[in-house]
A and B are shown apart, each in its own frame.
Chain A
Amino acid sequence: MSWWRTRRTQDLLFQAALLGGVVLLIGGMAWNAAGALERQNIASGFGFLDNTAGFDVVQTLVPYDETSTYGRVLIVGLLNTLLVAILGIVLTTLLGFVIGIGQLSSNWLVAKLCRAYVETLRNIPLLLQLFFWYFAVLRALPIPRDSWNIFGAFFLNNRGLYVPGPVTEPGFGLVVLAIALGTMGSLLLSWQARRRREAQGVITPVALQSLALIFVPALVISAVVGFPLHFTWPVLEGFNFEGGIVVLPELMALVIALSTYTASYIAEIVRAGIQGVAKGQIEASQALGLKRSPILRLVLVPQAMRQIIPPLTSQYLNLTKNSSLAVAIAYPDLVSVFAGTTLNQTGQAIEIIAITMGIYLTLSLLTSSAMNWYNARIALTER
């Protein structure tokens, strides 16, 4: 048989043709779009990122004002999205695990309540839940003048939660450095303890030592430089509170909606993960005479985690992507300020949507690779 008629060559040829087709299709679409833009005299390119934005954003984690550029708007929006994603992932993980384990509780009421939570939350569209939380939160809270006052430092009203804001003074860097060094030291300590346990089977408690290592030098240094941190207090001025840090009701509603909704899925994943551990494993450890807590810690959880992590990753990705619903309740996330306002001011739809999609893709791939790394670490090591 001649070489071009072998199965392998034909497979390769077929795949090359398919790849060529895909490239041609995408190239054709790009060419067509570029042509259409040029015919209609629509400006294109990424130069607009250097232009002055001219509008304000209500929540910015980096310095920003009306004279900043559209490129800055992109960063502001991205950070706001990251803030929601990180807060949401932490909260939803905690809640999801609690509810998931609760479903397996031997207490009838707890198990049924957790079951009801899952069935309710995951069967109502997220957007509706978002509106519910937003408008429920707004309606329940008082106007600024009648704020709920907590210890004279925290104020809660329908403009947000006002908390004292930290202001650093010179010397604060030293304290941060001390904490960082202390943390590194405590990590070293626990690593040593682990090696000792693995080598000699001796358990060395390090918790107290670690805490001391982190906080004692930091406290000493801050006393020496005169406690380089003070707080600005929120004060009612005119319409609103000034000073301090404000947590917007939009942020609260978004984080609550995203984390409670995603938690209903995570709860199911956790339940399935735990139930997926073979019964024999638990019976075997009971037979070995292990108590309830070490069974959980050493046998059940490590094996359950292996089944939980991969689907958990997709829930984290879902949460991050769902955070783009923020625009519905005016939280200034990436989609709202960049793919929304900026797109409208500049009209650069293709560029802006491409950048936005690229960012979400990057975020998702990063989350995914971090979780895969963790998954590989806890995966079954066959010896």
Chain B
Amino acid sequence: MRFLMIWLAACVLTSTAMAANSPTLERVKKNGYLRCGVNEGLIGFASPDAKGNWTGFDVDFCRGLAAVIFNDPNKVRYTPTSAKVRFTVLQSGEVDLLSRNTTWTMSRDVQLGLEFIAVSYYDGQGFMVPKKLKVTGAKQLNGATVCTNTGTTTELNLADYFRANNLKYKIIAFEKNNEVLAAYDAGRCDAYTTDASGLYAEKLKLKNPNDHLILPEIISKEPLGPAVNHGDQQWADLVRWTLFALVNAEELGVTSKNVDQMLKSPNPEIRRLLGVEGAFGEGLGLTKDWVVRLVKRVGNYGEIFERNVGQGSQLKIKRGLNALWNKGGVMYAPPVR
């Protein structure tokens, strides 16, 4: 009985001991590295290069956080997660955040004990078809067999779209991206559906990328963004404002190349962002020059976008919705003040 009491007490203590400050930030600092859940391999978003280094849009966000916390973007340990296990990996505390093209939906936000931080990439679901099918629009896909991933919003959107348009279809759902692609390449299905960004990335892996066409229709809203566990608001704030800082830096013209000159800028907004005026970073448990570290190491939002998925990459995705709000997109970050 005594043993049981001690054991119960130990359980209660360990669960309540970390309440002050941000327990996640404390843990990250103690570990000496950030644990980041990423995609298993999606070119442009998260994939290991020939030397085994992770690169991509989602990876750069993790690197940015590491730069903010440690002033070293390499202090990250990546956990590749499949669509199926990603939430469990986060919930069980195996990673400090999920930065893995994950759609922010109400049920995920409310029922899974997660907190979606903000939108880092506005995406939508599209279709890829072989050109030889001579299909030019999604409405011509009546009776088609469609390949996709299991355990994603994609399956639901697909069902909704075909139902709404009174079209027949068959769904073949695989667990891993590679198998979806292999089956599509082998002609098992007429169309491949996933988020448009994913289509551009996966298309590059096909035997003859030029024989395939991405249809113009976008059939769903897929706001992708990082997620953390519920219950550590300060950690959520830190992650959220790191993303906002990246967007604000782009809006204010602060880049990895000019950040040192920008410290001398007379513009009060830039001075606040870079910590020359005010001490906004200290509220996050950091130093006030946190954005200088961030932008110097990984660049601003626009630089990250272009380098990984935009014109500087193989994917050549246009900014579209992801352009800044004053440049025709919807990327809009609250101000630092």
Contact = CB atoms under 8 A, between A and B. Distances in A.
A138 B156 contact: no
Given A40-B229, A329-B179, A344-B84, A240 B186 contact: no
A242 B169 CA distance: 11
Contact of B145 (A35, A57, A139, A240): A240
B155 A158 contact: no
B159 A56 contact: yes
Nearest to A342: B151
A254 B42 CA distance: 28
B190 A239 contact: yes
Contacts of A362: none
Contacts of B173: 58, 330, 332, 336, 340-341
B188 A138 contact: yes
Interface in A160-208: none
Contact of A341 (B108, B142, B143, B150): B150
A238 B167 CA distance: 12
A346 interface: yes
A55 B113 contact: no
Given A159-B145, A330-B179, A58 B172 contact: yes
Contacts of A345: 107, 151, 156
B52 to A, nearest CB: 24
A56 B169 contact: yes
A239 B159 contact: no
A41 interface: yes
Given A40-B229, A341-B150, A344-B151, A328 B91 contact: no
Interface in B137-179: 141-145, 147, 150-152, 155-156, 158-160, 163, 169-176, 179
Nearest to A28: B7
Interface of B is mostly: mixed
B159 A346 contact: no
Interface residues of B, number: 48
A371 B133 CA distance: 51
A359 B24 CA distance: 38
B182 interface: yes
Nearest to A249: B188
Contacts of A66: 159-160, 163
A158 B171 contact: no
Nearest to A331: B172
B230 interface: yes
B253 interface: no
A296 interface: no
B111 A347 contact: yes
Contacts of A239: 133, 141-145, 190
A343 to B, nearest CB: 7
Given A330-B173, A336-B173, A138 B145 contact: no
A54 interface: yes
B6 interface: no
Contacts of A341: 150-151, 155, 173
Contact of A240 (B112, B143, B229): B143
A41 B230 contact: yes
A330 B183 contact: yes
B187 interface: yes
B93 to A, nearest CB: 9
Nearest to A66: B159
A330 B170 CA distance: 12
A365 to B, nearest CB: 27
Given A40-B229, A55-B159, A138 B174 contact: no
Given A55-B171, A341-B173, A347 B159 contact: no
A336 B4 contact: no
Interface in A72-124: none
Given A40-B91, A346-B111, A347-B108, A138 B143 contact: no
Contacts of A139: 186
B150 A340 contact: yes
Interface in A305-364: 327-330, 332, 336-337, 340-341, 343-347, 349
Classify chain A: how many residues form its interface, as a range. 35 or more
23 contacts: A28-B7, A28-B11, A35-B11, A41-B230, A57-B171, A58-B170, A58-B171, A138-B188, A159-B145, A159-B170, A237-B143, A238-B142, A239-B133, A327-B150, A328-B176, A329-B174, A330-B172, A330-B173, A332-B173, A337-B150, A344-B83, A347-B112, A349-B87
B216 interface: no
Nearest to B88: A349
A32 B15 CA distance: 10
B150 A336 contact: yes
B231 interface: yes
A35 B182 contact: no
- Which 3 pairs from chain A and chain B are nearest by CB? A344-B151, A40-B113, A42-B113
- Which of A32, A56, A336, A343: most chain B Cβ within 10 A? A56
A39 interface: yes
A55 to B, nearest CB: 4
Contacts of B113: 37, 40-42
Contacts of A349: 87-88, 91
A216 interface: no
Contacts of B88: 349
A135 interface: yes
A66 to B, nearest CB: 5
B37 to A, nearest CB: 15
Contacts of B91: 40, 42, 349
B144 to A, nearest CB: 5
A92 to B, nearest CB: 25
Interface string B96-140: 000000000001100111000000000000000000010000000
Interface string A128-143: 0000000100110001
- Which of A28, A39, A55, A327: most chain B Cβ within 10 A? A55
B316 to A, nearest CB: 30
Given A344-B150, A347-B111, 7 more contacts: A135-B182, A139-B186, A239-B143, A327-B174, A346-B111, A349-B88, A349-B91
- Which of B4, B141, B172: most chain A Cβ within 10 A? B172
A32 B92 CA distance: 12
A381 B150 CA distance: 53
A305 to B, nearest CB: 40
B198 to A, nearest CB: 16
